């Protein structure tokens, strides 16, 4: 008889930032599983179900104050240490293509932006612009996996799950000059 897997156990913490309350989901090893904004909590729930509620195994979500290991990098980032989030450990679900996109996003330097097309080319997938865009939009770890650094081919700010005003704030905070 096959052994049944236990549900994934996640912890949910809130952190106040200059642009709203962050919801931070981590596991028992203090790896980020998801980060989203309080006003987008339903989006967060959908992401968690999509990524971790498969194979008949669900997850539990317990409210818990974030440890300093998780809290401090966010506090430092919003205070101006723009590389502080690079030190956070993430555990990404998703497809192998999504994980490839999300990992590559973490390599886009602070203060830089790329168009979706340039990013797809950088991934050696120049014809996969739409797929890159979909993977970017499905990113479960906002800000840390910096999907906000991808912009339209004409330099315009395009969709961001946390809202375009936040995307604009994050880019300006990182030193990107916007038109």
Q: What are 47-55's contacts with CB under 8 Å, separation 24+?
A: 47/138, 47/140, 48/10, 48/140, 50/138, 51/93, 51/94, 51/140, 52/8, 52/10, 52/93, 55/5
Q: Does residue 17 sit in helix, strand or coil?
A: strand
Catalytic residue among 22, 147, 150, 170: 147
Has 5 been annotated as catalytic? no
CB 10 within 8 A of CB 60: yes
Distance, C-alpha 47 to centroid of its chain:
11
Chain position carrying tokens 């604009």: 168
Residues assigned a catalytic role: 147
């Amino acid at each position: 008889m096959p052994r049944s897997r236990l549900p994934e156990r996640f912890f949910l913490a809130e952190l106040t930032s200059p642009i709203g309350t962050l919801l931070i989901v981590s596991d028992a090893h203090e790896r980020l599983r998801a980060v989203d904004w309080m006003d987008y909590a339903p989006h967060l729930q959908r992401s968690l179900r999509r990524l971790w509620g498969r194979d008949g195994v669900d997850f539990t979500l317990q409210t818990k104050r974030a440890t300093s290991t998780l809290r401090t990098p966010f506090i430092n980032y919003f205070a101006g240490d723009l590389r502080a989030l690079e030190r956070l450990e993430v555990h990404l679900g998703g497809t192998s293509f999504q994980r490839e996109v999300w990992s590559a996003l973490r390599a886009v330097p602070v203060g830089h932006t790329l168009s979706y097309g340039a990013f797809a080319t950088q991934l050696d997938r120049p014809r996969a612009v739409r797929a890159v865009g979909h993977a970017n939009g499905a990113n479960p770890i906002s800000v840390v996996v910096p999907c906000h650094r991808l912009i339209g081919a004409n330099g315009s700010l395009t969709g961001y799950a946390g809202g375009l005003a936040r995307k604009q704030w994050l880019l300006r905070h990182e030193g990107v000059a916007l038109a």
